[in-house]
Amino acid sequence: MITTICLNPCFDRAVELDSLKMGDVNRIRELREDMGGKGINVAVVAQRLGLDVQCIGTMGENGADQLSAMMDAEHLRHRFMRIPGRVRANLKLVIKGEKGITELNETGAAIRAEDLNAFFQIAEEETRDSDVVVMTGSLPPGCPEGTYRDLMKRLEGKKCILDTEGKELELAAKAHPFLIKPNLHEMETTLGLELRTMRSIRDAALLFIRLGVEHAVVSMGAMGAMYVDAERTLFAPALRVATRSHIGAGDAMLGGMLLGYQREGDMGKAFRYGVAAGAASVMTEGTQLIVPEDFYALLEQVRIQEV
């Protein structure tokens, strides 16, 4: 069993426009709404790839029924504690003919200390049968610094996978997570460094390995991805695919690595699955996640190099 944790879920709304004129009326060409939040995304990908997974977390009362219904429609097992407030909405603006996506993200409903403590108890209950626990995504307002670190300590003995950045990553790394998966920008932000060479990226990952992290994967977009542990460094060039959206690619990568780890029992070998899943994700429009057939078609194309 795998449990993913999502403390700040959302509705992801992808809006397509022919153009965007500030201060004027703009007509929407297409609007798509999906459930979102990195923990939910990882769970959906893992389930689509056939893994036994559940997602737990907290969410605002307003909008909770709709979000729960969307998880039910995906047949995703879930348990979310409801707190005062509403489920946030993240708006993704896609302008025809332009590269990149403009994102307008809400912060989410604030969580009280007593609610966070209650969720920690739920997490202990719900992860009893889980070997792997994934903690990923932004934290809602009200979470104290070091929330992921404190949660990891409460779940001692679990293989904890962490995808976050900044102070949360820095503090949680000292609690010895099984795997961290920052992207290149998140790694730079956390360390306050510009990482422009493969060697500098490897050395940055090794800083976390020396803190007690067992495995580190850094996704680098068009540059590919890197896996680092105490004994080896692996590099995977980016696959050439028709890119439609980068939203959720990192979450898909984690979902793929979970499948690879279950099959191979080795995180270095699981890295190949993650690269394929991330590439499959960028082939989908807007906020959609991977299509399993795309993933399996790409899996054999991944090339891993030891550096």
Question: What amino acid occupies position 7?
Answer: L
Domain limits of the chain?
A: 2-19+28-306
d(CA 240, CA 259): 22
φ/ψ of residue 44, rounded to 5: -60, -45
Torsion angles phi and psi, residue 215, rounded to 5 = -140, 145
Which pTM was predicted?
Answer: 0.94
**Please, what is the Cα angle at 292 between 79 and 30, to 5 degrees?**
80
Q: 110 by DSSP, 3-state: which?
A: coil
Q: What span, in angstroms and rounded, lies between the C-alpha atoms of 63 and 57?
A: 15
* DSSP string computed for 244-281: ---TTHHHHHHHHHHHHHHHHS-HHHHHHHHHHHHHHH
Closest residue by Cα to residue 224 from 233, 232, 212, 211: 233
Nearest-10 Cα torsion for 269, 174, 181, 49: 60
Q: Which residue type sits at 3?
A: T
| Helix (H), strand (E), coil (C) string for 6-53 | ECCCEEEEEEEECCCCCCCCCCEEEEEEEEECHHHHHHHHHHHCCCCE
User: Which CATH architecture fits 2-19+28-306?
Assistant: 3-Layer(aba) Sandwich (3.40)
The SS3 assignment for 120 reads: helix
pLDDT per residue of the chain (307 residues) written in tens, 0 to 9:
999 999 999 999 989 899 889 999 999 988 889 999 999 999 999 999 999 999 999 999 999 999 999 999 999 999 999 999 999 999 989 888 777 788 899 999 999 999 999 999 999 999 999 999 999 999 999 999 999 999 999 999 999 999 999 999 999 998 999 999 999 999 999 999 999 999 999 999 999 999 999 999 999 988 999 999 999 999 999 998 877 767 778 999 999 999 999 999 999 999 999 999 999 988 876 667 888 999 999 999 999 999 8
Pairing of strands 132-136, 53-62: unpaired
C-alpha 217/C-alpha 276 separation (Å) is: 14
